[in-house]
Structure 1
Amino acid sequence: MPICTNCSHPTPYLYTVYDSEDNLRLEQCSSCHAFADPYVEHDALTLGIDLMLLKRDVFRHLLFNRGAGARRLSNKSSGEATSSENPQSHELQREKGRRLQILRLGFFLVAVDASDYFSHSMDPSHPGTVEIAQWNQDALESYFRVLTGCLIETVGFHVGVTLASFIVLHALDWLRSHGDAQAPSGLRTQFRCSHIPLTILYSSLNKFFLLFLLTIWRPNSQSSSADSLQSQYNATNLLSHPMLRGALEMLDDDKLDREWIIRNVLGGMATGFGLRVVLDCHPVFTTMIILTGWAVKTALAHLVSGWVGASISIQAGSEGAEEIWLAYSIP
């Protein structure tokens, strides 16, 4: 059953479709009396922008209401609602659709992640002493190993987060059953296992978008932030203070790894927000869940670092290829 994106109260219908073309009416929630899901009228561009902005309602729409909640009214049926599908079979079909979406979106994001890793592992100053055909063969082998390593990391992170989420949810249910008997929320009653990996994938779109922008506009590491600002504002003595200059020097490209921050800090915060929406629990528990997923992912990254780094060493001509692979790990 779909839910209200405003208060998460279960509602049988989100909108009503009439006989005339493009004629529908949004349903009101019986609890908060707001529109149950305004996103049914929005296009994919609006959904994508709101997803980048981490809006709560768009997560609820994509996870719980996508492809559901339609009621059809026909003039021939004297205003009575018609339904051509069994609710149980329709829910099973939606579950299959979510799993298919996980596979498609997951493989796409893993390929994007592997391409980003592979582009950073190549040394552009390395002389091309190898023949073109052999270089292409080595490059494909290196990319395949990086792709496999990213796939193992991603699967490990999803498995760790999913197991930790189920442990937290069962613990909260046990505490709720032995404490005040409060009715579970609509999010909890409509929760399915496929919601967790799909939430992680939706949350990671924000991270990959920022990484894409960072790939296009590379930071300039020739001059420090403090020196550049000092040259622009020579008339003031404010930037000559040692504490302020030290704070600005921390933003230099040789000291601040922007990609590490985007991957781990911002990516972890976005994933935590998405899990907070779908699990409906305290942020402390979602933080513990994210840390568990990070621990599993980091352990697997160290496990495959030697195998992945061997091909990068041959292709990039660098000795510390394992350090390149582990450069964006959590520790």
Structure 2
Amino acid sequence: MPICTSCAAPTPYLYTVYHSAYNFRLEQCTSCRAFADPYVEHDALTLLLDLILLKRDVYRHLLYNRGLGARKLGRKSPPNDSGTPSDPAPLNHEQSARWWLIVKLGFALICIDAFIRWTHISSSHPGDRSQIATWNQAALEGFVRILAGCLFETAAFHAGVVLACYLVLKLLPSPARSAPVSGIREQFRFSHIPLTLFYSSLTKLFLLFCLSIWRPDAAANTQRDAGPLPPLHPSAAAFPHALVARALALLDEDTLDREWVVRNVLGGMAAGFGLRVVLDCHPVFTTMIILAGWLVKTAVANLVSGWVGMGLGGDDKAAGEMWLAYSIP
């Protein structure tokens, strides 16, 4: 059964169709009186932008309401045709469709992640700068090794997160029988977890892809060769607070690793936000779940770093350490 994207209450219908697929009316939630799911009438670009912006309602729409909740005018349909637990056929079809979506979306995002890492490592490696503009056998081998490393690392991270989610849900007290059960808890399946992680990774991959196209390092090095920049403020040299000045120095181009910050800090926050939506629990538990997934991912990244570095050219150990430093928190 679909849920309301505003209050997460179960609702039998999201919209009513009148004689045509393009002539429909949004239904109101019986609990909060808002539209049950406004994203029904939004296009794919709007959904993608709201996913990148980490909107809570779009997660609920994609995870619980996608393809459900339609009611045709003049059709007397029982509540079971919306996919309630008493109707197993739609539930089985929904589960298989969700796993197929996880496979397709996961493969596409892993390929994008591998390309971003290959571009970053090749541009940073002394002997591989020419491989960015030329595809040869060495470049293809390096990309395939990075792709395999990303696949193992992603699988390990998802396995650690799913296991941690299972333990957390077992430890959390079950809701009282007298209290109404949340629609999220009622419709939750463990297949929602990897799908949520893939949706959450769109934010970091979008920013990492932008950084792989436009690298501030090149502009900074060009400006550094031209000469030192004047201070932004005339009184910068006489800044009284040395501690604040050192903290601001951490944001300098030579110190700050933008890719690492986006991948680990922003990526971890986005994954925690997605799990907060799908698990409907306290942020402390989602933080513990993300840390557990990071531990498993770090162990696997250490195991495959040497093998991945063998296909990157130059010093295999240095290339493996570069991939490892880019992969783990």
> Common fold, TM-score beyond 0.5?
yes
Greater displacement, 248-257 / 286-295:
248-257
Provide Cα deviations, 1:117-144, integer angstroms capped at 9, x if missing partner.
11222256538999xx9x8222222211
Q: Would you say 1:200 and 2:197 are equivalent positions?
A: yes
Greater displacement, 58-67 / 181-190:
181-190
Aligned counterpart in structure 1 of residue 213 of structure 2, from 207, 211, 216: 216
Change (3 A) 1:239 1:194: farther
In structure 1, distance between residues paired with 2:258 and 2:168: 32
Q: Would you say 1:34 and 2:31 are equivalent positions?
A: no
Give 2:127's aligned residue. Answer: 126
Question: Structure 2: 5+ residue runs without aligned partners?
Answer: none
Greater displacement, 271-280 / 181-190:
181-190
SS at match of 1:268: helix
Q: Would you say 1:253 and 2:250 are equivalent positions?
A: no
Please say if residues 72 and 82 of structure 1, whose CA atoms lie closer than 8 Å, have aligned partners that are also in contact: no
In structure 1, distance between residues paired with 2:82 and 2:200: 32
Please say if residues 17 and 71 of structure 1, whose CA atoms lie closer than 8 Å, have aligned partners that are also in contact: yes
| Alignment TM-score, normalising by the size of structure 1 | 0.87
Change (3 A) 1:65 1:240: same
In structure 1, distance between residues paired with 2:249 and 2:271: 30
- Once the two structures are TM-superposed, the CA of residue 229 in structure 1 deviates from its matched residue by 5.8
The 5-angstrom pairing of residues 160-171 of structure 1 reads 160-171=160-171
The 5-angstrom pairing of residues 276-291 of structure 1 reads 276-291=276-291
| Alignment TM-score, normalising by the size of structure 2 | 0.87
Opposite residue 139 of structure 2, the aligned amino acid is A
Opposite residue 255 of structure 1, the aligned amino acid is T
In structure 2, distance between residues paired with 1:282 and 1:129: 48
Change (3 A) 1:30 1:84: closer
Alignment size in residue pairs: 316
Give 1:96's aligned residue. Answer: 96
Opposite residue 322 of structure 1, the aligned amino acid is G
The 5-angstrom pairing of residues 1-80 of structure 1 reads 1-20=1-20, 22-74=22-74, 80=76
Greater displacement, 18-27 / 260-269:
18-27
In structure 1, distance between residues paired with 2:21 and 2:291: 49
In structure 1, distance between residues paired with 2:261 and 2:130: 35
Greater displacement, 100-109 / 117-126:
117-126
- Once the two structures are TM-superposed, the CA of residue 243 in structure 1 deviates from its matched residue by 3.9
Change (3 A) 1:317 1:84: same
Please say if residues 12 and 69 of structure 1, whose CA atoms lie closer than 8 Å, have aligned partners that are also in contact: yes
Give 1:293's aligned residue. Answer: 293
Change (3 A) 1:27 1:320: same
Please say if residues 16 and 24 of structure 1, whose CA atoms lie closer than 8 Å, have aligned partners that are also in contact: yes
In structure 1, distance between residues paired with 2:211 and 2:171: 41
- Once the two structures are TM-superposed, the CA of residue 20 in structure 1 deviates from its matched residue by 4.2
- Once the two structures are TM-superposed, the CA of residue 22 in structure 1 deviates from its matched residue by 1.8
Cα RMSD for the two superposed structures: 2.8
Q: Would you say 1:311 and 2:319 are equivalent positions?
A: no
SS at match of 2:136: helix
Please say if residues 157 and 293 of structure 2, whose CA atoms lie closer than 8 Å, have aligned partners that are also in contact: yes
- Once the two structures are TM-superposed, the CA of residue 217 in structure 1 deviates from its matched residue by 2.1
- Once the two structures are TM-superposed, the CA of residue 150 in structure 1 deviates from its matched residue by 0.6
Change (3 A) 1:229 1:128: closer
Opposite residue 295 of structure 2, the aligned amino acid is A
Change (3 A) 1:31 1:149: same
- Once the two structures are TM-superposed, the CA of residue 321 in structure 1 deviates from its matched residue by 1.4
Change (3 A) 1:82 1:24: farther
Change (3 A) 1:193 1:21: closer
- Once the two structures are TM-superposed, the CA of residue 218 in structure 1 deviates from its matched residue by 1.0
